[in-house]
Structure 1
Amino acid sequence: MNLASPSPQTSATRATSTAAPAIEVRQVLKTFAGKQLVKALEEVDLTVAPREFVSILGPSGCGKSTLLRIVAGLTPYQGGQVLVNQRVVKGPSPEIGVVFQSSNMLPWLTVAQNMALGAKLRKLPEAELAPKLAQLTETLGLKGFENHHPHQLSGGMRQRAAIGQILALDPQILLMDEPFGALDALTRDRLNVELLRIWQELRQTVLLVTHSIAEAVFLSDRVVVMSGRPGRVIEEIKITLPRPRHPAEIKADPRYGEYIAQLSSLMGVFADGH
C-alpha cells in the first residue's frame, strides 16, 4: 500500500494547506560551547501549517528538544531563521504555549489556582478567566478536582492540569516536549486519547517532541524524523489516517502498522509498535 496516497480530509485540514505556515524553521544551526564546540543542529528546515499536528522523532541527543526551545524563543541559535506567524522569533511570545515533561505545578496552590496562575500574571480579566477555566476543567476531565492540590492527583491528572495552565493563556501554537514521557504506558495511552480529543476540539497548531513511534502515528498529521547529532530533518511522513481518530479503529487499520514499520525502519528499531 502506498502510505503517501491521499485520503478524505476535513475542510479544516484542507484549509491549512493554503495558509501561510504557522512555524517556519529555515536552515537553523545551533552549537553549544564547552571544552569543545558541540554542533547540536545543522541546516534544519521545518514548516508547520496552522492547526496542523506535527510530531518530531529522532534518537536521543539529536536536538529535538533544543529545536522546540528555539521555536519557543527560549534558546538562541547561531544561524538560519525561525518565524512564527511570519514574524522572526526573538524571544518568548504569548502566541506560543510550551508544555514540558515535568508539570511544574506549585504544590501550595490548588488545581484551579495553578491553572489560573499564568493568566493572572498576564492580567487576564477575571470575568473572562472564570468561564474559560470552567470549560477547561470540563474538557480536561478535572471537574470536581479544582480544589485539590498537586500531591492529591495522579501523575496523569497533574499533567492534564499543566496542559490546562497553558491552554488558559489561549496560545495559537502549542509546543510539547515529551509531556507524557514520565508516565506509565497505560496512563500515557489514555492521555494520548485525551490530547487528541482536546486538539480536535480546540485545533491549535501543535509541535510535539516524542520518542514513541506509535504515539506520533496516532496523534499526527505529519511525522518529522531527525538524524543523530548534529540533528537535521531526514524524512517527513504524512499520516493519512482518517480523523476523528478512535484508538480501536485506528489500530485495526493496516496503514497504522505500516506507518509504524516505516518509521521504525527510519529510526533503526524493530517495528513492534511500542
Structure 2
Amino acid sequence: MRLLSFVGRNGQSGYGAQLNDQRIANLSAILGHRYPDLKSLLASGLDDAKAAVAIAPVLSRHEVHLLAVIPNPEKIICVGLNYVTHRTETGRPVEEHPSIFTRFAASQIADGDPIIRPHVSTTLDYEGELAIVIGRPGRYIPAERAHEHVAGYACYNDATLRDWQRHSHQFTPGKNFVGTGAFGPALVTSDEVPNIEAQTLTTRLNGEVMQQAKISDMIFSIGEIIAYVSSFTPLEPGDVIATGTPGGVGAKRQPPVWMKPGDLVEVEITQVGILRNPIADEIA
C-alpha cells in the first residue's frame, strides 16, 4: 500500500491509501474512530487498513491537500555522512558509529509544498534521502531483525541552511528552519519494496541530476541504523529515520549551488516515489 496523510476541503485531517495518481481511498472515514491518524494506524499492524481499502469512500487527489507522510512523529532521527561520496566531499574522517542529529516535526512539509528560504540566509541546500518509518515498537533491536520493525519507506529532503549549520559543532539550527523538511509523497509499505537496498536515490534541481546513489551504498545499513538508534531511545510507530544523503550537495560544488525561489527540487527513489517541492522565500 501507499499511505498518505492529508487535509480535506472541510479542513479535517485524514489519511488514506493511494489507489492511483488521481484517487485515494479515504481510510480515515472508516477507521478514524479507532485510529485518529496514520501513526496510530501503523501501530495496528495494517490488517484493518488492508480490509478497509475495498469499502472506503474514494477521494479525488484534487479534493485534498497532502501533509507530511507522518505529520506528528514522536521522533525524527537523522543520520549524517552516511554515504562515502558525501563523507569524502566534506573531508570528514571515517567514524565507528553513525552521526546522529534530530529534526523537529514542525519543520516538515508535504510533497508539493514550497521549501522555504528564510530571510536570514541564502545558503539553502538540498539533501535527498530515504526515510524509514517505524511500524512496530522496539528497544535494543538486533540489526538482523530490524526489518520486522519497518512499516515502510518514503522520500525525504533534509533541506539545510548551511551557514546556520556551521554556527557551532551542532547541526540543529541549520536543520530545523520551518518549511525545510520535505517528506512524501506517500509511505510505501515495506512489503511493496522487499529489495529496498537495490533501489536508486536521485536528487534533481531544475531537472539536472545533482545526487545519485544506490541505497546499498550507505555506510551504515538500515539494520545497523535501527539497531544503533534503538539502543539509546525506544522506537515507536510513526517514528521517522532519515538515513543520510549521497555526495553532490550544493555546498561542495564549485561554485556552490544554492536553492532559490523559483527552483524545483525533486527527490526520487525507484519503487518508492518522487517528492517534488518548489522553492519560495519566507514571507516576512
Q: Per the shorter chain, which TM-score range?
A: under 0.3
Of Structure 1 and Structure 2, the greater helix share is in 1
Of Structure 1 and Structure 2, the greater strand share is in 2
